[in-house]
Amino acid sequence: MMQLPIEWLLVIVVGLLIALLVMTVYMMIGRARENRRQVVTTAYLERNQEDWYDYLCVDGIPREELIPKNTAELKALEELFRSLVHNIKSEEIDKRISAFANRCLGNFYRDALRKGNWGERVNALSRIRDFGIDSLAKECREMLARKTVSKEEFFLLLLIDMKFNPETFSERHIGNLDKLSSKDTKELLFSMSDLLFDQIVETIDHLPARTQYAVVDVIGMKLNASRSDKLEQLFSSSDNELRIRILRAFNLLERLPADEVLIAAIESDRWQERLQAARLFHLLPAHSAVEYSKILADDEHYLIREEIRRYLAQPAFEVQVDNEAVSSLRE
């Protein structure tokens, strides 16, 4: 059994007690600081609430009292702007927030971008985008050119560049979109203006496969059938994943592709393509649907047979077509 002198134990206990005391004092000071900051923040917001309303919603004249004088007030302002941009949609209010943020928050976020703390940098980038602080567009572009930015920062920097420089976004970043995750690429494409998205769609043949998938998915999600011609052109691709996504987009759009696309999908050796094609049958005239159903009624894949069976079981379908043909297929 190990023997420990009692003096050593006492020293360890006293040392731990001192450490505990220091930690407690540190936390109490931190708490007091946070409380004080909260008091200043609340006082600033309560004192200026009416003036903020007047500036943002009425006259657009910024009173001198609104300019934050310390970090706590800056945080209060950040909290107010964040709340408003997420709840209120108005070009006028956005312009006023942007003007004030450029004037009073620009330097604050410029410093935050230079900090080593990743969280502070990401927070600053989010706010630059939300509040439209275009005076920091140059810093953001420089940051984008660096190779050391994290994925999250890269995504936010692309969103910022898209917001402040939409006219050059496509040519500058089109080849970089595959560095984003699939979810981020879709979010970026979804938040694009229609004009910019159309530019991306036009160049889809030259995009990396992952970006192509995201573009096709977003065409379907946007429920805008005006790009269905492009989808039909893309269907000639040898990439099965792309072809499946194109058919899924047609399903989302509730629109029939050209006959040759549909037939190619029905005759595809990939069951996912045949399944997506079967899901389009409800858009066909009843007699054509029966003809196509004959091809897939005995498909090797259970899901496709089930899809056809479910489709033929619709009561509305019965009255439109020759019962004999349908009955034989149902059997």
Partner 1 sequence: MVNTKVSEVLDGSFLTYTFNLLRANVLRERKTMSLLLLQDNTENASVIQKVAVTLQQILREKDVLFKTEHTNEIGILLPHSGREESTGFLRRLQDSCECFLDPSQDRCLLASIIEVFHPELTLSNALMMCRDSLSKASETSGIQAVYADSGFERPVTMVKVSLLEADRLFRGFLVMAFERIHLPGIDLQIREFDDGLALFQSGWVNSWHPHLVVMSDVLPKKNGLDVLHELRAMPNEEKFTVLMMTRRNSEEDMIYAYESGTDAYLVKPFNLRLFEAQVKRMLAGIWS
Burial per residue of 31-59, b for 16 or more beta-carbon CB atoms within 10 angstroms, e otherwise: eeeeeebeebbeebeeebeebbebbbeee
- Cα torsion 4, 9, 10, 11 to 10°: value is 100
> Per CB under 8 A, does 252 bind partner 1?
no
Stretch that binds partner 1, among 84-92, 163-171, 231-239, 310-318 (CB under 8 A): 84-92
Nearer to partner 1, 92 or 202 (CB): 92
Nearer to partner 1, 85 or 297 (CB): 85
Helix or strand run (H / E) with residue 302: helix 302-312
Type of residue found at 10: L
- Cα torsion 73, 76, 77, 78 to 10°: value is 120
Nearer to partner 1, 78 or 139 (CB): 78
> Per CB under 8 A, does 298 bind partner 1?
no
81 close to 95: Cβ distance less than 8 angstroms = no
Long-range contacts of 21-27 (CB under 8 A, 24+ apart): none
DSSP secondary structure of 173-224:
HGGGGGGS-HHHHHHHHHTS-HHHHHHHHHTGGGS-HHHHHHHHHHHHHTT-
Q: Which of 40, 66, 72, 84 binds partner 1 (CB under 8 A)?
A: 84
Q: Which of 90, 176, 182, 327 binds partner 1 (CB under 8 A)?
A: 90
How crowded is residue 247: how many other Cβ atoms within 10 Å of its Cβ?
A: 29
214 close to 189: Cβ distance less than 8 angstroms = yes
Question: Measured on CA atoms in the order 69, 74, 75, 77, is the torsion positive or negative?
Answer: positive
Q: Which of 60, 75, 93, 295 binds partner 1 (CB under 8 A)?
A: 93
By CB under 8 A, how many residues form the interface with partner 1?
16
> Per CB under 8 A, does 85 bind partner 1?
yes
SS3 assignment, position 250: helix
Cα atoms in the Cβ-side hemisphere of radius 13 Å centred on 74 = 15
Q: Whole-number minimum distance, CB 41 to partner 1, in Å?
A: 11
Site for partner 1 in 158-187 (CB under 8 A): none
Q: Whole-number minimum distance, CB 57 to partner 1, in Å?
A: 6
Q: Which of 4, 6, 7, 87 binds partner 1 (CB under 8 A)?
A: 87
Nearer to partner 1, 165 or 251 (CB): 251
Q: Which of 21, 88, 195, 313 binds partner 1 (CB under 8 A)?
A: 88
Nearer to partner 1, 76 or 162 (CB): 76
Q: Which of 16, 20, 28, 79 binds partner 1 (CB under 8 A)?
A: 79
Site string for partner 1, 32-71 (x = CB under 8 A): -------------x---xx--x---x--------------
Residue whose structure tokens are 């946070």: 34
Stretch that binds partner 1, among 5-13, 87-95, 143-151, 230-238 (CB under 8 A): 87-95
Name the residues that contact partner 1, by CB under 8 A: 45, 49-50, 53, 57, 79-80, 83-90, 93
